[in-house]
Structure 1
Amino acid sequence: MIGFPLLLIPFAIYNIFVFLMPGVVFTAPIASVTLMSGVQWSPTFGDALLALGIVLLLFEVVKAARPGARYLTDHLLSLVVSGAAVAEFLLLVPFGTSTFFLLTVLMIVEFLAGVSIGFRNRHRHVPAAVPASVPREPAPAPVPVPANPAPAEPSFDRPHQDVKPVEPVPPQPEPETAPKPEIAPKPVPTLAVIRNAEGTVAAERKISDWSVSDLVSDHAPESPAKTPPKP
Structure 2
Amino acid sequence: MFAAVPLLALPVLIYNLIALTLVGGFKAADASVRMTDTLFTIQMASRAGWAVSLGDLLLAASLVVLFVELLKSTTSRRIAIINHSLSMVLFILCLVEFLLFPAFATSTFFLVALMVLLDVLAGFIVTIVAARRDVDFGE
Per the normalisation by structure 1, the TM-score is 0.52
Letter in 2 for 1:22: L
For 2:64 and 2:13, how far apart are their aligned partners in 1? 16
Structure 1 position 66, deviation (Å): 2.5
Structure 1 position 70, deviation (Å): 4.9
Question: RCO higher in 1 or 2 (8 Å CA, sep ≥ 6)?
Answer: 2
For 1:61 and 1:100, how far apart are their aligned partners in 2? 20
For 1:67 and 1:46, how far apart are their aligned partners in 2? 34
1:181 is matched with which residue? none
1:138 is matched with which residue? none
Aligned to 2:84, the other structure's residue is in SS state: helix
Gap regions ≥5 residues in structure 2: 24-30
User: As a proportion of its length, which structure holds more strand?
Assistant: 2
2:56 is matched with which residue? 47
For 2:12 and 2:91, how far apart are their aligned partners in 1? 10
Aligned to 2:56, the other structure's residue is in SS state: helix
CA RMSD of aligned residues (A): 1.7
2:77 to 45, 68, 72: 68
Structure 1 position 71, deviation (Å): 2.2
Corresponding pairs, count? 129
**1:106 equivalenced with 2:107 (yes/no):** no
Runs of 4+ in 1 over 6 A off after TM superposition: none
Q: Work out which of the two has the higher radius of gyration on C-alpha atoms and give 1 or 2.
A: 1
For 2:55 and 2:5, how far apart are their aligned partners in 1? 23
For 1:16 and 1:98, how far apart are their aligned partners in 2? 17
Gap regions ≥5 residues in structure 1: 132-231
Q: Contact between 1:64 and 1:114, CA under 8 Å: does it hold in 2?
A: yes
